[in-house]
Chain A
Amino acid sequence: MNHMELRLNVNGQPHTWTIAPGDLLLDVLRRQGYFGVKRGCEKGECGACIVLLDGKPVNSCLMFAAQAEGREILTVEGMAEDGKLDPVQEAFLDHGAVQCGFCTGGMVLSAKALLDRHSNPSEDEIREMLSGHLCRCTGYKKQVEAVRAAASKRKKRTRRAPAMLEVVS
């Protein structure tokens, strides 16, 4: 069988993996132990397998792993920094936005991507973002509340660190 080498960066770590050309990114990530990437439908309909590819949410079930060559991937395992949860993760816990947790990984990543480019999203924008994810346990209400709360928490954090803000702008 044909094999090829894939070089990519996952959660800040460089990797070189041997893959088959037809391997899906979802399968390769799970094979490598990134179990936070979930298999829900394999058709890009449910969003449970979403990862951030260079900061943008993609369904890893719809991508060949080979297409990630040289790219930067963030999975839910890489969201917490030094053991400290991302504000989105904290807010999901505090607002009861997690039930079974199967769709949670993809959702918190999409929410982070949204907040990274838009510090103060409207409810419509949050729902637009969440519409890429199916959840069968909740009514999406608590996720909307959680993303809102995370947005204001991140804002506060930025306000407290004006130097950082300058660097960013």
Chain B
Amino acid sequence: MRERAIVGKNVRKVDGYKLVTGGAAFTDDVQLPGLLYGKILASPHAHARIRRIDTSKAKALPGVHAVLTYQDVPRVPHTTAGQAWPEPSPYDTYLLDSKMRFVGDRVAAVAAESRAIAERALRLIEVDYEILPAVLDMEQAMAPGAPVIHDEPDSTRIFDRERNIAGYILREIGSVEEGFREADFILEREYRTQRQQHAMLEPHVSIAWLDPDGRLVIRSSTQVPYHCRRQVAMILQLPVSRVHVIKPRIGGGFGGKQEMLLEDITGALALAARRPVKIEYTREEEFYMARSRHPQILRMKMGVKRDGTVLASQLTVLATTGAYGSHSTTVQGNTGSKVLPLYRAPNMRFECHVVYTNAPVAGAFRGYGCPQGFFAQETLVDEIAAELGLDPLEFHRRNVIRLGDIDKLSAQLGEGREGLPRVVRSCGLPECMERAAAAIGWEKKRKSLPRQHGPLRRGVGMACTMQGSGIAGIDWASAFLKMNEDGSFYLQVGASDVGGGADTVLSQIAAETLGVSLDKVIITSGDTDSTPFDVGAYASSTTIISGGAVKKAAAKVRAQVLELASRMLDAPAAILDCAHNEVFTTEGEPKRIGMGDLALHAMYKEKLQIMDGASHFNTDSPPPFCATFAEIEVDTETGQVRVLHLATAVDPGTAINPMQAEGQVEGAVTQGLGYALTEELTLDAAGRPVNPSFLDYKILGAKDMPKLTTILVETDEPLGPYGAKSISEVPINGVAPAIANAIFHAVGVRIRKLPIRPEDMLRALRNVGQDGILRAGCLPAPPLQFTAPGGLPTRRRLTTCPTEVP
């Protein structure tokens, strides 16, 4: 095989120039004549019904051009989740409604000539609310007598509306009961995770207007332009052909923009005002009127043999989706299907209730259910290894999924329906573990660190994780290529670069396949009029699925180029190749022709536009793998946990652009570190956000960062373009458990709740007695209310952590 010229190389981002020079590239970087400012009146109550709403004063305010309430718009049940049709999320959301289900829910919307007028208009809307009892605690949501959040009859696909259950999942492989019976050790623990916010630097923003043909154009910060178009058309009752969605450069998404969030209401205002309208969330609104990660309570039970072989694992989850069920069953499905199969247990069981609460809405967020699941699983496994006297690294070596394994749980648990079995065709996990362990100095530090004295204690911990690459059988993409007369190519993809560098990677794949330099590929992406379909940027799908489409389209175009060159050079196409912007013979008489000359000939002599397109999907979702190792220091006097070093080794298949791949790892690890230590959107007793600002919701800054080591362990994935899988999500999963395990190594305390705040750490440390026995852990674990009492016999139930504390 010829050495690759562009794939695998650290080329600059193709959109980099405009980004470093401040080019007008983002959604809001346009000036439209007559632009109006839209604002949404947010519900001040967690649960209320509008008895009466009077907008007459707001409408009378000079400069106000539209005021909308539920009385003015069509009532179309839908989901805001940007998923392939038919979306597996409940249709429980309305453009505007008479019932408010969380603090921040839409009461009304206005469009006015300035932001100040729009804000004044909101204050002039008179609303008489009937305040209803609210349920904020997910453990109370299913209790008899709890307020019913979705009592409206027209919502559909809700699992059990009377009990506030948006979705329910139960899947079993083998029989965990039997597995536990054969086990020498059984351990069961409960874990809690929090509401994390995406906090992308560019808040959600949408601008809508009517073009001269009267079509609705929506320029929006979205990861899913095509899903947005379909959903907006349905909600506003327009034909899809009358809606045009444009995704410009996006200032970060992380799943928060895999959502049709502002596009519908902005479009409705533009239609009402007959003028362009922009809605841009303020930072505060972004924190509670957008989306978050689903908080979960996880109960995990594992049965192992004396040598550490995992026989059965069972994960029971209670999660809340907040007031609406966006991504509710799919995120939670991932908590089981992407997490449990990491271990080769013959018996697995996953059960999950996703409940509504009167809280801000959860949705897609990098990792998509896996950070929660891996926090539980990898912390539990560390505890089991300690019980067995095994090095956690050794425990992983013995148990993790291997090349050739078939993950049967994925077959049962697809995107909200039956899925497809997952076959591991490439696996660099063993090498990931060894190299990350070496980077952190595992061997030596596991042995020498615990014998330290003084208030500062150091420890090292690890976790292994995996993810998917696209949703098997559902995610699909297409690409179109045409040749220009200078031998360059115009690449059109529906794929949505949201900052991760997809445009660059897709251009690299096209250039490599066509044998041209990167500057000969000009890309347009994410525009529903001018680019072909793509599901969008989510599920770690873009490189493998959209990249697969680009490679197919490029191969077709390449064949056309070679066919024409064959005629021009009078040589059979079979002995022709293209590279370095020319086509040449690989044997016989050396002949060559430049791509530019060939293109000119095609267009003006043969009257031929060289062009082609292709669609692509996979019936499998090859897992990328990751090993995360952490070295930390606990200040036992203050409870402060300082992370010193995070070493992350990832198997992404082929790294199409290693520099960008490293950037994805570092970004994911940093968000994972925030998830572990600092980030949580807190609500008060009335459901109001307590910390909706960067001052009070701490995302990490440059000075908060530990040393980061990133290792790419490349493998060759048969299902991916040039052997690529994915990388953007998997490295976020292991950070929290690796840190929690390192804390145990340092001070002998098990942390089972995120984020690990100093006050929780200190409380946990105080529970460790003189004899070094942790009495209760940091979290008393009452049994979950919703599970039937598990009548499974356990040979040994561990309630304490008898490991010695120095």
> Does A52 sit at the interface, judged by CB under 8 A?
no
Comparing B630-638, B699-707, B766-774, the segment that makes contact with chain A is B699-707
Q: Is the pair B694, A77 in contact by a Cβ cutoff of 8 Å?
A: no
- Contact with A93, one of B16, B669, B693 (Cβ below 8 angstroms): B16
User: Which residue numbers of B lie inside 8 Å of A, CB to CB?
Assistant: 10, 12-13, 15-26, 28-29, 31, 198-203, 249-252, 254, 280, 282-283, 498-501, 659-660, 662-663, 666-667, 669-671, 693-695, 699, 701-703, 705, 708
Q: Is the pair B20, A136 in contact by a Cβ cutoff of 8 Å?
A: no
Cα A48 to Cα B662 in complex, Å, equals 23
Q: Is the pair B22, A134 in contact by a Cβ cutoff of 8 Å?
A: no
Cα A53 to Cα B203 in complex, Å, equals 26
> Does A40 sit at the interface, judged by CB under 8 A?
yes
Cα A48 to Cα B203 in complex, Å, equals 12
Given A136-B254, A139-B669, A142-B663, residue A77 in contact with residue B22 (CB < 8 A): yes
Q: Is the pair B20, A98 in contact by a Cβ cutoff of 8 Å?
A: yes
CB distance from A121 to the nearest CB of B (A): 13
Please give, as numbers and ranges, the residues of chain A lying within 8 Å of B699 by CB-CB distance. Answer: 134, 136
Q: Is the pair A103, B20 in contact by a Cβ cutoff of 8 Å?
A: no
Select from chain B the residue with minimum beta-carbon distance to A128. Answer: B703
Cα A41 to Cα B699 in complex, Å, equals 13
CB distance from B286 to the nearest CB of A (A): 9
Q: Is the pair A141, B249 in contact by a Cβ cutoff of 8 Å?
A: no
Cα A133 to Cα B669 in complex, Å, equals 18
Which of A63-80 touch B at CB < 8 Å?
75-77, 79-80
Q: Is the pair B666, A139 in contact by a Cβ cutoff of 8 Å?
A: yes
Select from chain B the residue with minimum beta-carbon distance to A48. Answer: B201
- Contact with A41, one of B18, B250, B283, B669 (Cβ below 8 angstroms): B283
> Does A14 sit at the interface, judged by CB under 8 A?
no
Q: Is the pair B501, A41 in contact by a Cβ cutoff of 8 Å?
A: no
Cα A42 to Cα B693 in complex, Å, equals 10
Q: Is the pair B201, A102 in contact by a Cβ cutoff of 8 Å?
A: yes
Please give, as numbers and ranges, the residues of chain B lying within 8 Å of A34 by CB-CB distance. Answer: 22
> Does A33 sit at the interface, judged by CB under 8 A?
yes
Cα A126 to Cα B705 in complex, Å, equals 13
Select from chain A the residue with minimum beta-carbon distance to B19. Answer: A101
Select from chain A the residue with minimum beta-carbon distance to B662. Answer: A96
Please give, as numbers and ranges, the residues of chain B lying within 8 Å of A138 by CB-CB distance. Answer: 663, 666-667, 670
Please give, as numbers and ranges, the residues of chain A lying within 8 Å of B695 by CB-CB distance. Answer: 43, 45
CB distance from B62 to the nearest CB of A (A): 12
Q: Is the interface of B mostly helix, strand, loop or mixed?
A: loop
Given A41-B693, A139-B666, A143-B702, residue A99 in contact with residue B24 (CB < 8 A): no
Please give, as numbers and ranges, the residues of chain A lying within 8 Å of B708 by CB-CB distance. Answer: 139, 141
Which of A86-124 touch B at CB < 8 Å?
89, 92-96, 98-105, 108
Cα A36 to Cα B22 in complex, Å, equals 4
CB distance from B674 to the nearest CB of A (A): 9
Please give, as numbers and ranges, the residues of chain B lying within 8 Å of A25 by CB-CB distance. Answer: none
Please give, as numbers and ranges, the residues of chain A lying within 8 Å of B282 by CB-CB distance. Answer: 42
User: Which residue numbers of A lie inside 8 Å of B, CB to CB?
Assistant: 33-43, 45-46, 48, 75-77, 79-80, 85, 89, 92-96, 98-105, 108, 126-128, 130-131, 133-144
CB distance from B631 to the nearest CB of A (A): 16
CB distance from A144 to the nearest CB of B (A): 7
Cα A140 to Cα B700 in complex, Å, equals 10
Given A46-B694, A108-B20, A135-B201, residue A102 in contact with residue B26 (CB < 8 A): yes
Q: Is the pair A100, B22 in contact by a Cβ cutoff of 8 Å?
A: no
Given A137-B252, A141-B705, A143-B702, residue A103 in contact with residue B201 (CB < 8 A): yes
- Which 8 A-B residue pairings sit nearest by Cβ, starting from the closest? A36-B22, A100-B499, A101-B19, A102-B251, A139-B666, A130-B702, A76-B22, A45-B694
Cα A35 to Cα B669 in complex, Å, equals 30
CB distance from A129 to the nearest CB of B (A): 8
Q: Is the pair B16, A131 in contact by a Cβ cutoff of 8 Å?
A: no
- Contact with B667, one of A80, A126, A139 (Cβ below 8 angstroms): A139
Cα A141 to Cα B659 in complex, Å, equals 12
- Contact with B701, one of A79, A134, A141 (Cβ below 8 angstroms): A134
Q: Is the pair A139, B20 in contact by a Cβ cutoff of 8 Å?
A: no
Q: Can you name 13 extra interface pairs (CB under 8 A) apart from A46-B201, A76-B22?
A: A40-B283, A43-B283, A77-B22, A95-B659, A99-B667, A101-B15, A101-B16, A102-B26, A130-B702, A134-B701, A136-B252, A138-B667, A142-B666
CB distance from A138 to the nearest CB of B (A): 5
Q: Is the pair A35, B499 in contact by a Cβ cutoff of 8 Å?
A: no
Q: Is the pair B201, A136 in contact by a Cβ cutoff of 8 Å?
A: yes
Q: List 30 A-B contacts (CB under 8 A).
A: A33-B31, A34-B22, A35-B25, A35-B29, A38-B201, A39-B28, A40-B201, A40-B203, A42-B282, A43-B693, A45-B283, A76-B21, A85-B17, A85-B20, A89-B20, A89-B21, A96-B10, A99-B499, A100-B251, A100-B499, A102-B252, A130-B703, A136-B198, A136-B199, A136-B201, A136-B699, A137-B252, A137-B500, A137-B667, A139-B670
Select from chain B the residue with minimum beta-carbon distance to A92. Answer: B20
Given A45-B694, A96-B662, residue A101 in contact with residue B703 (CB < 8 A): no
CB distance from B23 to the nearest CB of A (A): 7
Cα A135 to Cα B699 in complex, Å, equals 9
Max count, chain A CB within 10 A of own CB: residue among B19, B23, B199: B19
CB distance from A135 to the nearest CB of B (A): 7
Given A41-B283, A102-B251, A127-B703, residue A80 in contact with residue B201 (CB < 8 A): no
